[in-house]
Structure formats: C-alpha cells, structure tokens
Amino acid sequence: MHDGEAVLRVDGLHKVFGDLEVLRGVDMEVDRGEVIVIFGRSGSGKSTLLRCINFLEEPTQGTIEVAGIRLEGGHRTRQKREQIRQVRTHCGMVFQQFNLFPHMTALGNVMEGPVTVKGVEEDRARNIAIEVLAKVGLADKAEEYPIRLSGGQQQRVAIARALAMEPDVMLFDEPTSALDPELIGEVLSAMKALATELHMTMVVVTHEMGFAREVASRMAFFHEGVILEEGSPEEIFDRTRNPETRRFLDAVL
C-alpha cells in the first residue's frame, strides 16, 4: 500500500478534552503527492485530528511525524516548542474561516509568512506571493484588501498564503463550509489544481463528496474518534461493506 515516501505519519493518536475522548487511537500515513479526504459526521473528531497534526491542539498521547520531524504528544518543553515551530513551516493549514489580516492586501497577506516566519527577503517573498496568487486564479486581485473580495476569493488567498510557505503537506479543515453555495466551486477547483498540477500532498476534511470522488487518492471515514474505513473513492463509494459508512453516504449523496 505505502511504497511511496511518507510525508506525514500519525501513530496511536489520542486526544482527551476533560472526560471526553475525541480521538481514540488514530493511525494514518500519507505519502508525498497523495490527496486524502477525511469525511464523517460532525463531532467525529476530524477537525481535532488536523489541529493535532500541527499542534494547535496538544495530542494527549501518540506520535506525529511531519517531513521527518517526530513529536510525541504530552507536555511541552522548550525544545519541543522549537520542533512545533518547524512542523508548522512544513504544514500549511487552511481553516473554515479565512482569518486574513484586514489591513493588508491579498499580496501582503501572502507575503507575511515567508518574510516573518522564514526570513525570506521582501523581493523574493513578493515574487513567491505573485506566483501562488496566480496558481489560485487571483493574479488580478493582488492589490485588493480582503473586504473587497468575496468569501471564495478570500479563501483562495488563504490557500495561497499557506502555499507560499512551500509546505510538504497542506491541511484543509472544511475549507468550503463557511461559503455561500455559489462560491464553493471556485475554491474546490483551486484545490483540484493544487492536486493535479502541483502534485501537492493534501489532507482535506470536507463534506464535498464530488470533490472526493474526483480528486482523492484515498478516503478515510471518521467515526467516533477513529478511522473506521479507508480506501480509494471507488472502494468507498461503490463497494463499501461497512454499514456506518454506507449509512453516512446514503444520507449525504
């Protein structure tokens, strides 16, 4: 199954909030260039998984390895804080909410990470920003402020901002769920372009099953804090034998 080069490994991941166990031993491996779509009911732990991968949430237990940097869940030390910073430079993340800086243009938003986090000089950061904005179809909006952009355009700027860091893996946490229906398509096609043209490694939490069928290399059905089933889109959509997966798909398709 995994003859490629694993960019991301998750081993025995648990996350407990108070007395609620949200992740109950998740194992996952993602090879370079794969697009993994994670789907399942709200509250099944999908977003928590992504937030643990780049340590926005501290895993209670388990191991995360990104681009060869291996981190154990549990308490933070100074050395670990530095490793978390490194992990985040290898992991781009796109959220439901776009979280753009309102006082910066689209270009400024995209340049910010390379300049402040990676210390890239301004001219080179500007060139990178122009290039990635073009990749998400927004070359003509570089000088616009977020308030002048539609939700779909803002989300594409957020994708460009993550891309500008030249990450090894991009994490998408329901990137279209806050958008009006008519704007969803433009964001999904920008994501599809990343997968097909840039061969970007992507882990996408989404309810967009059309995108999953078309773009995913693998799909993972999340249920009550574990991956209940995984396989190719064909295996999942057409041949799943798992009653929980079937029930979910029948409800959403």
pLDDT band for position 133 (cuts 50, 70, 90) = very high
Listed residue (54, 84, 62) closest to 15, CA to CA: 62
pLDDT the model gives residue 1 = 45
Least confident stretch, 75-79, 191-195, 196-200: 75-79
Measured between alpha carbons, how far is 60 from 24 in angstroms, rounded to an integer? 10
Question: Distance of CA 249 to CAs 6, 203, 245, Å?
Answer: 29, 19, 6
Measured between alpha carbons, how far is 238 from 12 in angstroms, rounded to an integer? 29
pLDDT the model gives residue 3 = 53
Listed residue (197, 195, 196, 179) closest to 187, CA to CA: 179
Whether residue 129 contacts residue 107, with contact meaning beta carbons closer than 8 Å, is answered with yes
Q: Please name the residue ranges forming H helices in the chain.
A: 46-53, 78-90, 106-116, 122-135, 151-163, 181-197, 209-215, 233-239, 243-252
DSSP designation for 239: H
pTM of the model: 0.94
Listed residue (202, 133, 140, 119) closest to 167, CA to CA: 202
Asked if the model's pLDDT at residue 140 lies above 60, the reply is: yes
Residues of the chain above pLDDT 90, percent? 89
